[in-house]
Structures are given as structure tokens and as C-alpha cells.
Amino acid sequence: MLRDLQRTFHHALLTGDPEGLKAVVDMGPIPLADRFHVHANTFIGFLIDALAAAYPVTAKALGTSLFRAAAAAFVRHAPPAVPQLSAYGDGFGPFLAQSLRIRPYPQIVDLADLEWARMACYFAADARPVTVADLQGIEPSRYPALGFVQNPAVRLLRSRHGAWSVWHHVAELPDEPGPQDVPRPGAAEAILIFRTAGTVRMDRLTDADMVLTEQLFVGARLGDAAAAAFATDPAFDLQQALFAHLNRGTFARVLPPSPGAMV
């Protein structure tokens, strides 16, 4: 009985229609619609505020009115699946891409994807990062056969419309620009998002560095990942790129050469 009531009320909250509650709720002196809308407005408003906290720069870029309208539509389309606000908001970028009012601004859709990656990094599990010192005891001839495990507080993003540049531009503006004033879609950018000392940071990567990092994250050994990076850019500086990743804490573990690996 209680579960049926909860399901009925949940459906009413998402549709905004309290009609189905008449069979399970006492009427009382205050009209059902009036009582229901107090709960509905609180519920929807609470989740809109949660989305605004997860996507602050996206909200700023869209402006309060357009963002809250889009967020309300998203709440009804994809209500929370788990009782954890920090996990709510995944998929908001692709949802924005379907909006007729936002579709002309693909750079804002990319911006939302970037902000969700930042959220994922912020709430990710802690891991001791691999440092330069961890590699000093390994014979250099064995480096090509080493593997590197992704730090859980690190994400990679390929933005087709310059989300890194848009994020920095909008974040520094004193007022809400509105979508018409956000920079137009720019060149594609490869972005590394990472958490260090409790703060989420972002760096742009070269195309070759992005290929290297992607390959390592999916299990390639350093030699194979480096070959893919050099195929992208023969002038790629592998040593400098690895040193930068170790300083950021990109990796959580070094995998030794596989048994029988050629070194």
C-alpha cells in the first residue's frame, strides 16, 4: 500500500498532474491541487538547484530563465535513479543537445559535458598518484613494456567546439552573458580534467598527448601508446608529456611488464 502510494505520488510529481492522487489521498479542506503543487514545486526546484550546483558555468552561459526551464524539463525526463545528489545530472549535456532553443549553441552542450567531467573528478575516490620517484627504480629499457592505470579522479574529454576556452571565457565574466553572447564554437580541444589537493583543474592536451593518454587508459603498454602518439605527431615530446602527467597525478598505478614481454 505504501509503495503504491509512493509510486503514484512520484508519477504525479514528474508529470505535474495530481489527478491520480484522488483515489489515495484524503481530500481535506484545502484543494488537492493546491497541496500537491507545494510539494511539486519544492521537489522540482530542489533538483533544479542541484543541477545548477553541478553546472554553474553552463547555467551562467544560458542565463537563469533558460537554464531553469531546461533543468526542469530534464528533471521530468530523467529523475534521480539513486538517493545521492552528487550522482545526479549525468546526461544533461546530451539532453541539452535535443533542445530546440539550445541546439544552435553546441559549444554550450560541450561546456555541460566538461562540467560533468569536473563533477566526476571532484567526487571520485582517492588514489595515491604515480610520481617520478616511482619510476626511478625501473630500468629504462623496461619502460616501453610498462602499463599505467588511470587515476579515478582524472577524466579525458574531446570537445568538438572548444569547451575549455568557453569555460574560461564564461567563468570570468562578471554577469550572465546569455547564450547569444557566449563565444561561437571554436576549434576542437583535447582536455584533461584532474583533481589535485582537493581542487579540480583542467589542461589542454596536444592531439598526440591525447592519443597517448587514451591508449594508456584503455590498457596499452607505453611503447604501443607512444607509437600511436608519434603517428599523430612525429615531433611529439614523449618525455615532456610523461613528466607533465606524473606532476598532475594522472596515473594511479604502474603495471610491470607482462610475463614474457620483450624489453
Question: Residues 100-118: pLDDT tens digits?
Answer: 999 999 999 999 999 999 9
**Residue 186 burial by CB count (10 A; 0-12/13-18/19+): exposed, middle or buried?**
middle
Nine cell digits for residue 11: 508519477
Taking the C-alpha atoms of 82, 83, 85 and 87 in order, what is their torsion angle to the nearest 10 degrees?
Answer: -30
Same domain, 149 and 85: no
Distance of alpha carbon 224 from alpha carbon 178, whole angstroms: 45
More confident residue, 173 or 40: 173
- Stronger pLDDT, 263 or 239, i.e. the higher one: 239
Please, what is the angle between helix 2-15 and helix 64-77, to 10°?
140
For residue 35, what pLDDT is reported? 52
Q: Which of 62-66, 81-85, 187-191, 209-213 has the lowest mean pLDDT?
A: 81-85
Q: Tell the burial category of 62 from Cβ atoms under 10 Å away from its Cβ (0-12, 13-18, 19+).
A: buried
**Of the candidates 103, 138, 153, which is a domain's last residue?**
103
Statement: residue 152 has pLDDT above 80:
yes
Kindly report, residue by residue over 2-59, the tens digit of the pLDDT.
Answer: 465 456 555 555 655 555 554 545 555 555 455 555 455 677 888 999 999 999 999 9
Average pLDDT over residues 175-198: 90
Which residues are within 8 A (CB) of 185 and not within 5 positions of it... i.e. 6 or more apart?
106, 107, 160, 161, 162
Please give the share of the chain, as a percent, with pLDDT higher than 90: 68
Q: Examine the domain organization and report whether 159 and 77 are in the same domain.
A: no
Domain count, the chain: 2
Q: What is the pLDDT, as a whole number, of residue 137?
A: 84
Q: Is residue 63 part of a domain?
A: yes
Q: Is the pLDDT of residue 251 over 50?
A: yes
60 and 135, same domain (yes or no):
no
Question: Quick one: pLDDT at residue 58?
Answer: 96
pLDDT at position 263: 38
| Same structural domain, 164 and 257 | yes
**What's residue 7's pLDDT?**
61
Average of per-residue pLDDT across 142-169: 97
Going by pLDDT thresholds of 50, 70 and 90, the confidence category of residue 86 is: confident
Indicate if 131 and 86 belong to the same structural domain: no
Percent of the chain with pLDDT over 70: 82
| pLDDT score of 80 | 86
Q: Which helix (H) or strand (E) holds 223?
A: helix 222-232
Instruction: Please name the residues in contact with 203: beta carbons below 8 A apart, sequence gap of 6 or more.
Output: 191, 192, 194, 244, 248
Examine the fold and report which residue of 71, 103, 135 is the final residue of a domain before the chain moves on. Answer: 103
pLDDT mean over 186-214: 97
49 and 84 belong to one structural domain: yes
Closest CA to 232 of 252, 208, 251: 208
> Cβ(192)–Cβ(248) under 8 Å?
yes
Q: Same domain for 135 and 211?
A: yes
* Residue 181 reports pLDDT greater than 60: yes
CA atoms of 175 and 173, how far apart (whole Å): 6
Same domain, 185 and 133: yes
Rounded mean pLDDT of the chain? 87
247 and 133 in one domain?
Answer: yes
Range of the domain at 249: 127-263
